[in-house]
Structure 1
Amino acid sequence: MQQVRASTELEYAFLFTLRKVNSINLEGFKPFFRNMPVDPYIKGNFRSRRLSRFTVSGNELIKLPHGYFFQSKEYNPLLGDLKREFAELDDALIELDIFKNLVLAFSDSCKLHPEAEIGVHQIRIICSPDNSGSPAPEGIHQDGTDFIGIFSVDRDNIQGGETHLYTAKREKPVFSKVLNPGELLLVNDHEFFHFANPIKPQTDAQGSFDVFVLTSPSLLSE
């Protein structure tokens, strides 16, 4: 596990942490990434997305009412100041123990307040021999939240997609790694910008990159 401690001034649990979540059998997630709704806000139809929000009560998840996703242009120059609405996560996915384990791993690692909202984005990026897929079309950015968790579920027939963390947009990355399935990268959004390289297929066929991105606060409003 790679970890950088936070400054005492901010009193956060960490700056970034990379960990393997051994309690999760990734095969249980994979069916839920098939036939997902295409993200209507991105040109090119290379990204599919669902989104729900939760709080944690003890060892249980409480699903909150759905809402729209909003970031300012300060954080998202591509799609900022736009109310974005996405389909919610599948109820059968939410009921899985492995899903609960993922959200609890995020909450526990970030030492979240019991009433803290957690947004869970389910995202698939696809690529083909003729078109790459971009996990971060907005470029090097922050999300405008406190904590971010990026959990790699599957990398199917792809190359690229390396995740980078930066202390400033014009600086060299302080962390660069392809997140292998089962790895969870936790990031203090106040301290780092992040980005992921586009993906391309390894063979003459379609490729896909499946991830969950968790944030707290959720950035959802009713």
Structure 2
Amino acid sequence: MTSSTDPGTRHADRLRQQGFDFIESGAMRDWLAATGPLDDWPRFAASWGDLAPDTYLAKLGRHRRRRHAVFSLDGIGHPAPAIRREPHQPHYQSLDYNPLQGDIERWFEPIEAAAGDSRSLHTVLRCCQQFFGALSPQVPRWHAEVHQFRIEARADAPGQPTPEGMHRDGVDHVLVLLIERQNIASGTTRIHALDGRELGHFTLTAPFDAALVDDHRVLHGVTAVEPLDPAQPAHRDVLVVTLRAAAV
């Protein structure tokens, strides 16, 4: 029987009540560590130093770095739920969900094998598989997209974590996990109801700070980031995992 103090139970209750949840770093790390190994986390986090430019956003005069991968996650009804990396494929959102870059297939550089095969990433995916699977036990398989983002900021060009503004991703569930903030101010996550009312806000400041989002019920966005010291490099690194029920 699941204990009422189980983190999955607590976060599921909050997600059902308000459509989102903010998890502080210590609690999130403990939850992940209880799910699987994190022993290669430093090497996994270091892979954000080798992301590729987002050429689609650069055409609009904005800058960020990213890599992308797609995984299939068996639903929790499977006797031995597996996690499989799928062949590289484009990221697609309709204009309904991304008015800035919707209705186009965007091909990003793939997440490198060392990061994609890492024990840390698979622990994150296993946590998503178990948690979101428990919320939707009828789903036999999930289409999971994994995004590594680095938002860079300069004194003359603040970084835009969500250049499309307040939005939905067009999926079922979203996890945003902070990897690192270096020399960054602001970057506040805002959550709005579908009618535009603000429901809450928080800032991911420490590695492992996380946000869970019910993409059917709320909009989310992040304010621009600026360097604390304009003379030094400044960036915000996040891992974003989205899940939607796969066609079967």
Is the CA contact (8 Å cut-off) linking 2:69 and 2:147 kept in structure 1?
A: yes
Aligned-pair CA distance for 1:87: 1.2
Larger radius of gyration: 2
- State the secondary structure of the residue aligned to 1:138: coil
- Correspondence 1:27 to 2:42: yes
The residue aligned with 2:122 is 100
The residue aligned with 1:175 is 200
Amino acid at match of 1:50: R
Amino acid at match of 2:237: D
- Paired residues, what number? 213
- Correspondence 1:47 to 2:53: no
Aligned-pair CA distance for 1:59: 6.4
Coordinate RMSD, CA, aligned: 2.3
Correspondences of 1:134-149 after superposition (within 5 Å): 134-149=160-175
Correspondences of 1:116-195 after superposition (within 5 Å): 116-168=142-194, 170-171=196-197, 173-179=198-204, 180-195=206-221
The residue aligned with 2:234 is 207
The residue aligned with 1:62 is 84
Aligned-pair CA distance for 1:42: 0.7
Choose which of 51, 61, 64 in structure 2 pairs with 1:36.
Answer: 51
The residue aligned with 2:20 is 16
Give the TM-score of the pair, scaled to structure 1.
0.87
Amino acid at match of 1:70: Y
Deviations 1:54-95 (A, max 9, x none): 123546521012211111111110001111111111100122
Q: Which runs of 5+ in 1 are unaligned?
A: 8-13
Is the CA contact (8 Å cut-off) linking 1:38 and 1:47 kept in structure 2?
A: yes
Identity %: 26
Deviations 1:26-76 (A, max 9, x none): 523232111311001113452111111112354652101221111111111
Q: Which has the higher helix share?
A: 2
Give the TM-score of the pair, scaled to structure 2.
0.78
Between the aligned partners of 2:203 and 2:44, the Cα distance in structure 1 is 20
Is the CA contact (8 Å cut-off) linking 1:140 and 1:169 kept in structure 2?
A: no
Task: Describe the shift of the 1:49–1:70 C-alpha distance in structure 2 as closer, same or farther (beyond 3 A).
Answer: same
Task: Describe the shift of the 1:200–1:107 C-alpha distance in structure 2 as closer, same or farther (beyond 3 A).
Answer: same
- State the secondary structure of the residue aligned to 1:21: helix
Is the CA contact (8 Å cut-off) linking 1:68 and 1:86 kept in structure 2?
A: yes
Task: Describe the shift of the 1:202–1:64 C-alpha distance in structure 2 as closer, same or farther (beyond 3 A).
Answer: same
Aligned-pair CA distance for 1:168: 2.7
